[in-house]
Structure formats: structure tokens, C-alpha cells
Structure 1
Amino acid sequence: MNTTQQATILIVPGLRDHVEDHWQTHLECKLSSVRKVVSVPPLETDKLSCAARVAAVQQAIEAIEGPLIVVAHSAGVIMMVHWAQKHTRKLEGVLLAAPPDFESPLPAGYPTPDALQANGWLPVPRHALPFRSIVAASTNDPLATLDRVTQMASDWGSELVNVGAVGHINPASGFGEWPLAEQLIRSLES
């Protein structure tokens, strides 16, 4: 990394966007030089469109000069792997926390495989990512088995960090603050 300039941290939330007590929201308040991908039209009217989400990621990335680390959660992880198939911006690294298994049926309240297919999320790219990446995986995530996340991490060429039985690493699972995220981000800076 360029040691003369601190990396900007770009937060890429999942489908639920801003969640008040989410660890990503806490990072926004705590760390310096943080930006977030925000929902702007067409996301307000076409919220499930993968292409619109990836375009919003690209718009946010284009607005950042200098070193960049991306911190993605849940569907934000899938946005980043789709983004990597189309764009070539150099990234210092990416933290991919709790990737969902969109290729398997999700619990009630989440999009169906047919809806995900119709909105461009499937197939989930499985090519090696062109930047350093860490996948943080829970052993009891209701949106993906550890075996499926381990396979995704391997396919992406990502370092896998098993964070234990912590659910989907979101407020419903008890996160709030997640100090390990800061450690993983620091490891991407070195």
C-alpha cells in the first residue's frame, strides 16, 4: 500500500442498506476516511436489481482517489464479486463478511432463487478476485452453510477467517460493534 496516504474505507451494505445498530454503521462513525455506497435512483425503485447495485458500487468507487479498502456485508459481498467481473480499479483489499448462498433457498423474508435469478444475482461469479480479500464466515449463518462459504472463498482466492458461531454477523445476531472487523481491515492495510 502507498504509505503516504491512508486508505479510504468504502462500506458496501447488503440489501437492507443502512441499519442503525449494524457493525458497518459503527465503523462509519468510528473510523476516519470512510464512505458508504448509498441507495440512489434507480435503487429506490428497483431495489433488487444486481446491475443497479453494482452501478452504485462503481459510482462510489469512482468518487474515491487513492488507496481503497472495501468492507462488504451479506449481499454487498455478492455485489463486489459481480463488480470485480466488470471493473479493474486497483483495491488494497476487500473484507467480505457473511456472504449469503444465493444459489440455495434462503429463509422466509429473503428473496427467492427465482427473484434473485430474474434480477441478475445468479449465477454468483466464482472466478478468482483480482485483489486481496478476506472472507469472514460464521459456522451458523442462516443464509449460508460454512461449507458453501468455504467453497466460495476458495473459488475467489480469498483468505477464509472462521469467526465462530455468530449468525449472520448483523444486529439480529448480536452485532452492534464488531471489533474483529477493525482488525481484519488493518490486516488488509499491511
Structure 2
Amino acid sequence: MTITPTVLLLPGYQNSGPQHWQSHWERLHPQYLRVEQADWDFPLVEDWVATLHKAVVAQPGPVVLVAHSLGCVTVAHWAARHGLPVHGALLVAPADIDTVEIDELTNFRPIPLEPLPFPSIVVASSDDPYASIERSRLLADRWGSRLVEAGAHGHLNSDSGMGDWPAGQELLRELIEQH
């Protein structure tokens, strides 16, 4: 018997508002769990990694991580520190905090570039203001992730008007159904 993985949603800096695709997914799938960080506006890498770790180990079975922006960077830090296996990760619009100058995020530098110890898909936009497509390609390559180039959709957030983002749901389904 196959156990369906628990989906953990990891928003980025300042959380995902009501029109963000992660919030749409949470409403569509009440079983999906949002990882609630203590401070969305002044994030600390150690706190965010510890919160993610607690959320992963609290699950009784396999886990799929669905991260956006700084949430993707948090996953990379968590994997570098803990290396626990998860079923997979959907990493959407990873923020290039190594080059983006947002003071609150510099403590997440440098982005870990080690291969992730689980299957992953990076989704990147060609006009993301927080990561060039070249940098997104590099992150996907170094993390060992499959790269999906989504076209010109900004930061793939609320401003992008993704709604419930059916194409993203299909990528998540692929990760869940893999063996």
C-alpha cells in the first residue's frame, strides 16, 4: 500500500498572501500544511531551518516540500544541514539572495549549492526580478533538480496572477506519484 506524502507549503519572505498560488492550493487542499515561520518580515536562517526541520520530523510519513522564493533557499539550507530524505521538493522562483540586496535576507547567504538528497523540480520565470534565468538554471543544475522554465511570469507570486496554477499542481502531482 502506498502512503500519500504530506505536502508542506513553505512561503518566502513576508509570507504568501491570499491571492498567492500557495494560498489557493491551501484552500483547495486543506490537508496541505503551511510551515508557519515566527517572523516573516525579519527572517533568520537558523530559525527558518529549525522550523522546517520540526515540521518535517513531525509528519508520520513521507513529505513533499512546496517552496517559493526564500522558502527554496530555506530548503537548500535545511538539506545541507540535516540531509533527511523527503519524497521530493517543488522549488518555485528561488530568490537569488546572493545578489539581491534586501538587508533582511543577507543572513541566508551564501545559498548552499550542494545536490539535494531528494528529487526536485525548480520552476523559474524568465523575467523574475529576484533571480535571473541564468542563475535559476545554475541553482537547478547544482541542486540536481529538473528545471522547468515557465516563461515571463515575474516572481511567480500574487502579482503574477497565477490563481490556483494548474501547471504547478501537475508538477506537484508528478513529484507525489513518483516512486
TM-score between both structures, scaled by the size of structure 1: 0.87
Is residue 2:73 matched to residue 1:75? no
Q: CA deviation at 1:175?
A: 2.4
Aligned length: 177
Quick one: distance in 2 between partners of 1:64 and 1:148? 33
Partner of 2:115: 128
Q: Describe the SS at the equivalent of 1:72.
A: strand
Q: CA deviation at 1:16?
A: 1.2
Partner of 1:100: 95
In the TM superposition, structure 1's runs of 4+ consecutive aligned residues that sit over 4 Å from their partners are none
Q: Describe the SS at the equivalent of 1:184.
A: helix
State which of 151, 160, 167 in structure 2 corresponds to 1:164. 151
State which of 24, 29, 32 in structure 2 corresponds to 1:26. 24
Please list every run of 5 or more consecutive structure 2 residues that lacks an aligned counterpart in the other structure: none
Quick one: distance in 2 between partners of 1:48 and 1:38? 12
Which deviations, in whole Å up to 9, do the C-alpha atoms of 1:8-49 show, x marking residues without a partner? 100000011141111001111112531110023xx37x8321
Quick one: distance in 1 between partners of 2:156 and 2:73? 16
Give aligned-pair identity as a percent: 38
Superposed counterparts of 1:133-152, under 5 Å: 133-152=120-139
TM-score between both structures, scaled by the size of structure 2: 0.93
Is residue 2:90 matched to residue 1:116? no
Quick one: distance in 1 between partners of 2:147 and 2:128? 15
Q: Describe the SS at the equivalent of 1:90.
A: coil
